[in-house]
Amino acid sequence: MILHGESAHGEVGCLAGRVWFCGAEEAAWAEEEEGFSGDLSKGMASLNTGLGMRLNRLWGRVRQGSVFAERFHLEVITSPTQMRNVLKYVLRNDVHHGLGLGVLDPCSSAMSFGGFAERRGASKVDCVSVEAQSWLLRTGWKRGAGKGLVTFHDLPRVTGVLQA
């Protein structure tokens, strides 16, 4: 694992305010609290550089160019339905990419997410992200379409993920 041994706010990433995240084949997703967009942009650029260097080193490539095809894109989430869709997309990104793991993605923060119906209450796994501060991310998402806790079987939509 490339980031093994790094702290949640360690050298790689340095994403202040990160709440939930996952890493996929071609992208990294992170949910960020309001007010951290500048920090997130800088953090994602840092993560892209640091992770790219580590991956190139792992693959035996020296200065072979960018590992990630695209740069960071910011989407402002304003409704409970949008937030619910983002949670499903970020926490179940393994399903979206057809990995069929049969378990929660160990390369995401899904294991420490306490909002799954099958795991009522606080997670038994140490949280690798920060506590949500905004109403929308703490509890508001439960009022979105589908209402209530997310289940392991709530699949992310392939298109229109962030649509309200």
Contact 118, 104 (CB under 8 A): no
The two structure tokens encoding residue 40: 């997130």
Q: What is the pLDDT of residue 71?
A: 66
Give the global pTM. 0.61
Contact 140, 83 (CB under 8 A): yes
Amino acid at 27: A
Q: Where are the alpha helices (DSSP H) in 23-79?
A: 37-58
pLDDT in tens, 7-46: 333 333 333 344 555 555 445 555 555 555 566 677 777 7
**Angle, vertex CA 162, rays to CA 102 and CA 82, nearest 5:** 90
Q: What is the pLDDT of residue 76?
A: 78
Over its length of 164 residues, how does the chain's per-residue pLDDT go in tens digits? 334 333 333 333 333 344 555 555 445 555 555 555 566 677 777 777 787 788 788 888 776 667 766 666 667 788 999 888 888 888 877 776 666 666 777 777 777 788 888 876 556 566 656 677 788 888 898 998 878 888 877 776 655 444 33
Mean pLDDT, the chain, rounded, equals 68
Q: What is the pLDDT of residue 128?
A: 59
d(C-alpha 9, C-alpha 37), whole Å: 16
Does residue 158 come out as left (phi exceeding 0), alpha (psi in the -120 to 50 range) or beta? alpha
Q: What is the pLDDT of residue 100?
A: 65
Q: What is the pLDDT of residue 73?
A: 66
